[in-house]
Amino acid sequence: MIKRYFNRLAHNKLALAGLAVIVLLAVIAVAAPLVAPHDPLQQYLSSRLANPSRAHVLGTDDLGRDVLSRMIYGSRISLSVGIIAVGIAVIIGTLLGLISGYFGGWVDTVIMRFVDIMLCFPAFFLILLVIAFLEPSIFNVMFVIGLTSWPGLTRLVRAQVLSLKGMDYIQAAKLLGLGKLRIFFVHLLPNVLTPIIISATLGVGDAILTESGLSFLGLGVQPPMSSWGQMLTTGKDYIYVAWWLSLFPGLAILVTVLAFNLLGEGLRDVFDPRTGTK
């Protein structure tokens, strides 16, 4: 089974390209102190808004800081926010989906009506509303994105559980007197992992895009920490005299989000028995 999945993934060139980009970004983020050519906070005031050159491959910003180094350290912020925020959303969405689908009745009604209420609000504006009452920081951004991103996954998991709970092996587990927690995590959860993994992979790209938008508005990562969205905020003020301040962070966001989306779509094809290479 696992070998067949790997074979399908190996034949999906776009998914492999996305995976390669993600692995490269992860390596760069972990090894940032080793691969960054300069200290991201070091100011070279004599080289303010310097064009890309051998000394500063991607140029410098308005304070003379090396753009490449700030982008390398910014990858840590983007990947951390994406992974942790999606982790929070996956935990909440999976648990609520399992409970809602398994118990049904009034429990299902209450949870799904709450999901409907959450889905009535545009996610980004809901995040802005919550952030407005909190101190802007990377930790608040992680938790707020995670706490507002679970409704879609809850519906997905609930639908899977509804189709599984009538299966013979679930009924047999009930007749044997197995506890609900064991049924949840031993018999149901392994069978709904596929849509969870796909949703989580696609969700990381969305979380990175959301964090970049918040940082661009000044509600995300605060100086002197560097994030790609924050760098875009600086770049917009100098877009006519220092194009590199907007171009390179924007490309980093585009490539990263695209990589996660390609991998997520590839995993969907891999796990779907109706598609993929046989």
- Tell me if 60 is assigned to some domain: no
Mean pLDDT of the chain: 85
- Tell me if 40 is assigned to some domain: no
Measuring CA to CA, how many Å separate 109 from each of 4, 19, 104, 150? 39, 39, 7, 17
| Token duo for residue 221 | 């990562």
Q: What is d(CA 109, CA 167) in angstroms, rounded to the nearest whole number?
A: 22
- Tell me if 47 is assigned to some domain: no
Whether the per-residue pLDDT at 149 is higher than 80: the answer is yes
* CATH code: domain of residue 10: 1.10.3720.10
- Tell me if 63 is assigned to some domain: no
Q: Contact at 8 Å (CB) between 20 and 272? A: no
When divided into structural domains, the chain yields a total of 1
pLDDT digits (tens, 9 = 90+) for 8-67: 777 788 889 999 999 999 999 999 999 998 888 888 888 888 888 888 888 898 888 999
The three state secondary structure string of 107-151 is HHHHHHHHHHHHHHCCHHHHHHHHHHCCCCCHHHHHHHHHHCCCH
Please report the sign of the dihedral spanned by the C-alpha atoms of residue 184, residue 186, residue 189, residue 191. negative
Residue 26 is given by DSSP the state H
Residue bearing the bigger pLDDT, 273 or 225: 225
Which residues does 7 contact at the CB level (< 8 Å), separation at least 6? 277
Nearest alpha-carbon partner for 72 in 25, 9, 23:
25
- Tell me if 237 is assigned to some domain: yes
| pLDDT mean over 111-138 | 81
- Tell me if 98 is assigned to some domain: yes
Reported pTM: 0.85
User: pLDDT at position 88, please?
Assistant: 94
Q: What is d(CA 73, CA 100) in angstroms, rounded to the nearest whole number?
A: 41
| pLDDT mean over 63-86 | 90
Residue bearing the bigger pLDDT, 2 or 62: 62
| C-alpha count within 13 angstroms, C-beta hemisphere, residue 192 | 29
- Tell me if 52 is assigned to some domain: no
| pLDDT mean over 171-183 | 77
- Tell me if 231 is assigned to some domain: yes
* Structural domain of 82: 2-27+76-271
| pLDDT mean over 245-256 | 92
276: confidence class by pLDDT, cuts 50, 70, 90: very low
